[in-house]
Amino acid sequence: MTLKPIYIGVLSFMLLASFAANTNPHDRKPPKEAVEACANSAENDQVSFDTPRGDTLEATCQIIDGELVAVPANGPDDMKQPPKQRN
């Protein structure tokens, strides 16, 4: 019996696990609504935009990674709330 297939399997698993460990969930792009809200605005302008869930967020335009984006003052807390019921 040869151990070569086992070694290949273990090495493959380790390689895939290392890729998964190096991915950063914060490397996401901002929502298109946040970018569109600041399309005709300047940095530090106050804007509002509707989320895909139907919430309206008040935000400030800020440059993040070279892109002008609407950043809600308490966005992460707002995102934890259940979606509004649509009629």
Residue 18 lies in a domain: no
Residue 11's pLDDT is what? Answer: 62
Q: Residue 51: helix, strand or coil by DSSP?
A: coil
Tell me: pLDDT of 83 over 60: no
Tokens of 53: 């869930």
CA distance linking residue 75 with residue 30, whole number of Å: 12
Residue 55 lies in a domain: yes
Tell me: pLDDT of 79 over 50: no
The boundaries of the domain holding residue 59 are 29-74
Residue 69 lies in a domain: yes
Tokens of 49: 């935009």
Cβ neighbours for 71, distance < 8 A, ≥ 6 positions apart: 34, 59, 60, 61, 62, 64
Residue 86 lies in a domain: no
Q: Is the pTM of this model over 0.75?
A: no
DSSP state for residue 24 in the 8-state scheme: -
Residue 10 lies in a domain: no
CATH code, domain with 54: 2.40.10
Residue 74's pLDDT is what? Answer: 72
